[in-house]
Structure 1
Amino acid sequence: MTDPLAHVVSLLAPDAGFSKLVTGAGAWRVRRSEEARPFYAAILEGSCHLTLGAGPPTLLEQGDFILVPAACDFATSSLEPPAPGAPLLHAEVGPGAFWLGPREAEPNVRMLVGHSSFGSDDAALLVSLLPGLVHIRGNGRLTRLVELLNEETHARRPGRDVVLRHLLEVLMIEALRSTSGPAAPPGLLRGLADERIAQALRQMHDDPARAWTVAELAKETALSRSTFFDRFRREVGLAPMDYLAGWRMALARDLLRQGKVALGQVAQRVGYGSASSFSVAFARHVGTPPMAYARRHRSVAC
């Protein structure tokens, strides 16, 4: 049976941007505004603060790992940040190595940080199913994966891009499954932590072409229709049919980008009885007819 978490991460198509070793010393602060790109970091030594938007600072310490699937406005800083208006000092001190703060100050943190991107046009939909911040303490596997990503980024060996893509997929899956459970915010991870809802999610991912109804999915989970509907919406954050529709369109976009199957086959694979009914639904959901979408993405690929 299909693994929904692996399926979502694979469709996100994470692609490596860059990775670097950062040393912070004295009072320092870095603020970035990204275009909803993934950001991750592993704290090797010392400690620092991470602040997302206008939220409170999160303490990061040695052995911690963080993943922000869609970083838009965030900052990292020393525990005692520089005074307002003070110059923000940073310098590249070697290939892939950066120093933050006064050069004469004692280091207070060493961390590996990285930015990547998602190749999927459905990244916003898929990321909405994930936590806004993943913060994990004491997971050595994650630190080793970040170290491998950093080494591969700067080694420039044959097959580098393929290795980086697979390492990023493994990193994301390892991080996300380490933070799943009922304490997670509504989304895919919390849904998968609920045995009954996880069964429905696996069924939808395993057979998206089936004409599922809420009643059929409820039967698969041995829940009443109303109990299943309310529980699914509470745990996943979407109504069952909304989740299924979004998932079908994510699959359809992926098939159209690949350009390996005809429109009628795409329609059948994602649960539509005809190419015309699929085209209407796709245009309503995406804003452009499926053939126009496919042509545009094939021309970009060329």
Structure 2
Amino acid sequence: MVDPLAEVVALLRPQAPFSKLVVASAPWAVRRSETGRPFYFVVLEGQCHLTVDGPTHSDTITLNAGDFALVPAARSFATSSLDRKPPREGDTVTTPIAPMPGGARVGDPNGPVDVRMLVGNCVFGSADATLLVSLLPQWLHVRGEQRLSTLVQLVGDESRADRPVRDIVMARLLKVLLIEAFRSSASTAASPGLVRALADTKLAQALRCMHERPAHAWTVLELAREAGMSRSAFFERFSRAVGVAPMEYLLAWRMALARRMLRQRELAISAIAEQLGYSSVSTFGVAFTRHVGMPPGRYSRNDTEGMGMNKSKNGIKGKTDAAQAPA
């Protein structure tokens, strides 16, 4: 049976080579702006607030020891001690931050430590990262998972030790932690995305169908029948859970597969078009160009994945009433 999340994670190729230890003393607050990079937090000791800014609103969650949080495409976020509100965009933040070996000391350098956490940037090695991240929730927060807690303990132990090949071991542990977070958060993801939809057995069945047979000429009605739902109920439930309409998701997945096939250069464009369910090379070319920002032939001639990523558009554009739009 095809596992949609496994396929997306495999295409993303997540890595976590960069991390720093943050040690803080209350009261403290930090706000930073990003450029869409993936960011993660591993809380080793204590508690803190995390506020993630979204396109329309901000979400604030409390992180406890053993928790893991991931923001697949951070734009701006804030962290703070529990005794103060996280600063909003535009607020002046005066908390002192001092560098220390392997990280930073936040707040009063002589005060008692109330939180220790690892903070860092992930790296998604795929040229499809922008497109695929749009299939993930705005943020992931995992708590109370024994397997993940064990990984957090291992990461914390490794971060405090001065062992040989420490950086390599940390990178491997953090990569496993990322994958485990994707898997563990399926039932707890609060924001729309693939992870949240997979926790719904009816939607998961429809998603598996799309991933098992991407070339099939799926319609919303046919997918609704696979899910055992009415067309209207399925469309609304899918759009709310994933954040985009069913046909938009199918198009995004087909384009991710197309880009991988084009980079591999093992198939002719006509064969790729056929494998993805397009009736002709021209039909495929129009869909690919509209979604990726360049014709498939030019994309396949790019020498590096980075060129393809930089020239591509920002994945799925958002929820639209595309129930009958061709994918």
TM-score if structure 1 supplies the norm length? 0.83
Partner of 1:22: 22
Q: Does 1:216 align with 2:222?
A: yes
Whether the 8 Å CA contact 1:38–1:115 is kept in 2: the answer is: yes
Q: Does 1:101 align with 2:107?
A: yes
Partner of 2:33: 33
Partner of 1:18, secondary structure, is coil
Q: C-alpha root-mean-square deviation of aligned residues, in Å?
A: 3.3
Q: Does 1:76 align with 2:79?
A: yes
Distance 1:123 1:45, change over 3 A: same
Q: Does 1:64 align with 2:72?
A: no
Shift of 1:202: 0.2
Distance 1:85 1:167, change over 3 A: closer
Shift of 1:107: 0.9
Distance 1:26 1:192, change over 3 A: closer
Partner of 1:8: 8
C-alpha distance after superposition, 1:213-263 (max 9, x if no partner): 333323333334444334333333322222111110111112222333322
Cα distance in 2 between the residues matched to 1:85 and 1:280? 48
Q: Share of identical aligned residues, percent?
A: 53
Cα distance in 1 between the residues matched to 2:95 and 2:65? 27
Cα distance in 1 between the residues matched to 2:256 and 2:172? 20
Partner of 1:44: 44
Q: Does 1:178 align with 2:164?
A: no
Shift of 1:84: 5.4
Shift of 1:182: 8.2
Partner of 1:243: 249
Partner of 1:272: 278
Whether the 8 Å CA contact 1:186–1:237 is kept in 2: the answer is: yes
Q: Does 1:123 align with 2:117?
A: no
Partner of 1:180, secondary structure, is helix
Distance 1:132 1:26, change over 3 A: same
Whether the 8 Å CA contact 1:149–1:164 is kept in 2: the answer is: no
Cα distance in 1 between the residues matched to 2:167 and 2:104? 26
Shift of 1:167: 5.2
Distance 1:2 1:65, change over 3 A: same
Q: Structure 2: which 5+ runs fail to align? A: 308-327
More strand by share: 1
Amino acid at match of 1:46: G
C-alpha distance after superposition, 1:52-92 (max 9, x if no partner): 23736432222222121221101222234599564522212
Shift of 1:183: 7.2
Cα distance in 1 between the residues matched to 2:93 and 2:123? 32
Pick from 201, 204, 214 the counterpart of residue 210 of structure 2.
204
Q: Structure 1: which 5+ runs fail to align? A: none
Q: Does 1:141 align with 2:147?
A: yes
Whether the 8 Å CA contact 1:70–1:132 is kept in 2: the answer is: yes
Shift of 1:139: 2.7
Cα distance in 1 between the residues matched to 2:131 and 2:306? 22
Cα distance in 2 between the residues matched to 1:60 and 1:299? 35
Distance 1:219 1:86, change over 3 A: closer
Aligned residue pairs total 296
